[in-house]
Structure 1
């Protein structure tokens, strides 16, 4: 009985250790990222000159402070603007972000090379928009693209509302 108990405990520890390796801590994800895809329940938010047609430059996660700094480019009235927006970690692990209204941002899947996230935006008119994004450090793997597509579908966003940022 003790051997079975010990082996079960050992197996549990190994599985937990492997899970931690598969999903790095957010602070380990800090660095330069680029936008690969963004999808939105409201296509107007990600069309050219739309407020969420963002070209991500850098993310800085601070686990100790409970913050994330977003650095990105967005076109406003035909001109490129460089933006810095701060997110504050909430008890549920999401980040509250003030940008074009109130946002709830969450990393859904991450590795050293890809980051799949979703964001719920409520603008100044009370209109709710759900967005998903795939951000990369290098070229996208098919598996990563599949995770993004699954999350987008799960969040109820139509496939025609997906914008490929690599090809634009």
Structure 2
């Protein structure tokens, strides 16, 4: 088993590698909201699914050498807060242990839209996932089309797109610009922080 585990991570990292997009850390930092999720194994991202992670904040640390993610997941009927910090690996991927091993890449970054691509290995199979997030609470038609294109390029059926906004259980940043910290302080869900 000791040989299989490193080999699997290497396979996942190699599979996730493509020509790396140049990441502008200033466009990654800040408060984000998950708008859409899609996966080739849809049961992982439906409401109550283990990988229906709803991003709230993403930070690039040290020129994106580290990626900090703040997100919520509804587990056992309760919306729970998580913080993950991962170090960039070769090929501009980040490895995150959450409901299995996840190889994460930022595949599209603009001023108001960010898309992550994740390959999750749960011990039995690999699930490919995209998460489309925005600075606001929706995508324009052009942004949604871009999101669909990114899914198609990765073999994820667009009929598997889930609208995350409709069932979002997590606190939001207020339109007045109040920080997320005030929402975190009053949220009663579990908070977990890990550095990988």
The normalised TM-score by structure 2 is 0.69
What displacement does 1:52 show? 1.3
Aligned to 1:67: 66
Paired residues for 1:18-167 under 5 Å: 25-64=24-63, 66-123=65-122, 125-138=123-136, 139-167=138-166
User: Offset of 1:63 from its aligned partner?
Assistant: 3.2
Number of residue pairs matched by the alignment: 145
Q: Which runs of 4+ in 1 moved over 4 A?
A: none
Bigger mean CA offset, 30-39 vs 50-59: 50-59
Deviation track 1:92-132 (CA, whole Å, cap 9, x = no partner) reads 11111111111111111111111012111111x23100001
Q: Which has the higher contact order (CA 8 A, sep 6+)?
A: 2
Unaligned segments of structure 1, at least 5 residues: 1-22
Q: Relative to structure 1, is the Cα distance of residues 136 and 64 closer, same or farther in structure 2, using a 3 angstrom cutoff?
A: closer
CA contact (8 A) 1:24 1:111 kept: no
Return 5+ residue gaps in structure 2 as ranges.
Answer: 1-21, 168-196
Aligned alpha-carbon RMSD (Å) = 1.6
Distance in structure 2 (CA, Å) of the matches to 1:69 and 1:128: 23
Instruction: Supply the distance in 2 between the matched residues of 1:28 and 1:74 (Cα, whole angstroms).
Output: 24
CA–CA separation in structure 2 for the residues paired with 1:92 and 1:142: 31
TM-score scaled by length of structure 1? 0.80
8 A contact 2:48–2:75 mirrored in 1:
yes
Distance 1:89 1:60 in 2: 13
Determine the C-alpha separation between the residues in 2 that align with 1:104 and 1:94: 6
Q: Which has the larger radius of gyration?
A: 1
